[in-house]
Copies of this chain bind each other. A is one copy, B any other.
Amino acid sequence: MTDQKTMARAIEILKEQRYYDSIQGLMGWDLWEGLSEKGQPYRQEVSGYFTRQALDQLKSPETKKVVDALREMGPGDFADVYEQGVAHALIDRYQNAVQVPEELQVELRNYTGRAQMAWRDALDHNSFEEYQPWIEGLFQLKRRVAEAIDPNRPTFDVLCDTTDEGIDTAQVGAIFANLKTGIMEILDAIREQHQAIDTSVLDVEYTHQQIRDTAYEINLLTDFDGACAHDSHVLHGMCTGVGPRDSRIAISYKGTWGGIFTMLHEGGHGRYNYSSSQRAIDCGLWGGLRGSMHEGQARFYENIIGKSPEFWQIAYPVVLRHFPQLKQVPLEKFYMALMKVTPSVHRITADELTYSLHPILRFEMEKDWFDGKTKTKDFQEIWNAKYQEAFGLMPKDAREGVLQDIHWASGHVGYFQSYTLGNLYGGMLLEAMEQDIPQWEQQMAKGEFSAINGWLHEHVHQYGMAIPPQQLLRQVTGKDLTEEPFLHYLRRRYLTKLR
């Protein structure tokens, strides 16, 4: 096979693999949106069948031949970064398919399908005991997966690497230590000021529909393309990329003003998912990089943009249109109430400053379990102790504590660190963007997002999953992963702008 023929066939295989991703994404979304209660067993059969079909294609002698040929190719043999991305992605998929036994993959997918329903029930019943066996089952399954991928590395390193290519837990641990120190310093400096902030202006009568409409409109202010996304009604904020121009976004209807930031967050995921170049789509590379880079885009829109005082100059009028009773409340007062830093037990509703600490606690819990230091039956206690230690706060029940996240149920173990890492990525991208668009904040205040969106599209979004995250980060920022730009940004926001 010539290199050209190899590449053409590799692209075809990858595109077909993405078709399987697309129907699995749709089936995942449908778990919440349409699937009947008694429809679940058959859905598992169907999902399992197509998982096996996709794996069969990867494990076929033909794919092996293509992968072997790709491995022989050097950087100079690729026409562009997309071809290189295809080779990288296909080799990666092939290895995972060959290394992880098929039955284990099917078992994992079926298990997460049922575990998510169990999580929902446990949350209804406020029962950690009901959920605990599922956590145990999932962690055990994940251990088997990691051991299959690489039995010679520490299990948890392998899992985190799956989420976030090129990251290891030692590096993450060191960076998190610096970050913790930096955040605590800022927190100490502003604690008194923020304790004094009066948030009573936020306590207005509202319906979920009002919050949803407000959040939806505010998200559109960032030039979000509603024709590429569907706004769903599920329990938990989420974004599923069903196709290259088809993002399914959901916000939880439980919070109040927090729903605005969830929408901006999921909107960031949705935008990254729907903004791949046509070339990326044609190569099966649409949808963006997994893990921290995706979280980074979500948190960029949620926080760096969505919590800036400049953005609130255009967002507040939307709020006032939906909540006319706030007409007498000045923007400054409302905005500062939203931004109040208050350590709390709940990750999703945490303020921007302390947020990064929440995923770190979960990351530590996972790491300790995989290092054999803890048992899942103690997870509620461990969870509570960690919150007590970090924030001086004790969750009042399972629902407020260990049951609050769907992640473990959906198989996202070794994933939480990516939220905090996403913040760090955002900080690095912001530093680079400010060189090119020094006026970005003034532009937001005028509702102009074409430069900001255009910059992220040009440097990050267009590539889809073509360029590995560490390489992309270096290409855009000239640096390796560091916490400093994010801390710099936090200091500027909390120590300078909000004083």
**A14: min CB distance to chain B, Å:** 13
Cα A246 to Cα B38 with chains together (Å): 7
A57 to chain B, nearest CB (A): 10
Does B39 contact A34, Cβ atoms closer than 8 Å?
no
CB pair B244 A36 closer than 8 Å: no
Q: Does A33 contact B (CB under 8 A)?
A: yes
B19 A45 Cβ-Cβ under 8 A: yes
How far apart are the CA atoms of A19 and B230 in the complex, in Å?
26
**Which residue from chain B places its CB closest to the CB of A246 in the assembled complex?**
B39
Q: A37's contact among B22, B23, B29, B227, by CB below 8 Å, is which?
A: B227
Docked CA distance A275–B347 (Å):
44
Residues A33 and B34 in contact, CB atoms below 8 Å apart: yes
Which A residues, 360 to 418, have Cβ-Cβ distances below 8 Å to chain B?
A: none
CB-CB under 8 A from A281, the residues of chain B are 42
Q: Does A228 contact B (CB under 8 A)?
A: yes
List B contacts of A274 (CB < 8 A).
38
A20-50 vs B, CB cutoff 8 Å, 1 = contact: the mask equals 0011001101100111111101110110011
Determine the chain B residues whose CB is within 8 A of the CB of A136 once the complex forms.
none
How close is A219's CB to chain B, nearest CB, in angstroms? 14
Asked whether A246 and B35 contact (CB < 8 A) given A27-B26, A30-B30, the answer is: yes
- Which chain B residues border A227 with CB–CB below 8 Å? 36-38
A194 within 8 A of B: no
Q: Enumerate chain B residues within 8 angstroms of A109, measured Cβ to Cβ.
A: none
Encoded as 1 (CB less than 8 Å from any B CB) or 0, chain A from 289 to 309 comes to 000000000000000000000
Q: Is A242 an interface residue (CB 8 A)?
A: yes
| Chain B residue at minimum C-beta to C-beta distance from A27 | B26
Whether a CB of chain B sits under 8 angstroms from the CB of A346 is no
Q: How many copies does the complex hold?
A: 2
A272 to nearest B CB, angstroms?
15
B36 and A33 within 8 A (CB) = no
- Set of chain B residues within 8 Å of A243, measured between Cβ atoms: 36, 39, 42-43, 46
A26 to B16, CA, bound (A): 19
- Chain B residues whose CB sits within 8 angstroms of the CB of A43 once the complex forms: 243, 246
On whether the beta carbons of A38 and B248 are closer than 8 Å, the reply is no
Partner of A246, one of B26, B42, B242, B244: B42
Closest chain B residue to A53, Cβ basis: B53
CB of A245 within 8 A of CB of B19, answer no
A225 within 8 A of B: yes
Q: Which of A98-116 contact B (CB under 8 A)?
A: none
Q: Does A232 contact B (CB under 8 A)?
A: yes
A residues near B (Cβ < 8 Å) are 16, 19, 22-23, 26-27, 29-30, 33-39, 41-43, 45-46, 49-50, 53, 225, 227-230, 232, 242-248, 274, 281
5 of the cross-chain contacts (CB-CB < 8 Å) are: A19-B50, A26-B27, A34-B230, A38-B245, A38-B246
Other CB < 8 Å A-B pairs besides A23-B27, A38-B225, A39-B228, 10 of them? A19-B45, A19-B49, A23-B46, A26-B34, A29-B34, A39-B243, A39-B245, A39-B246, A43-B243, A43-B246
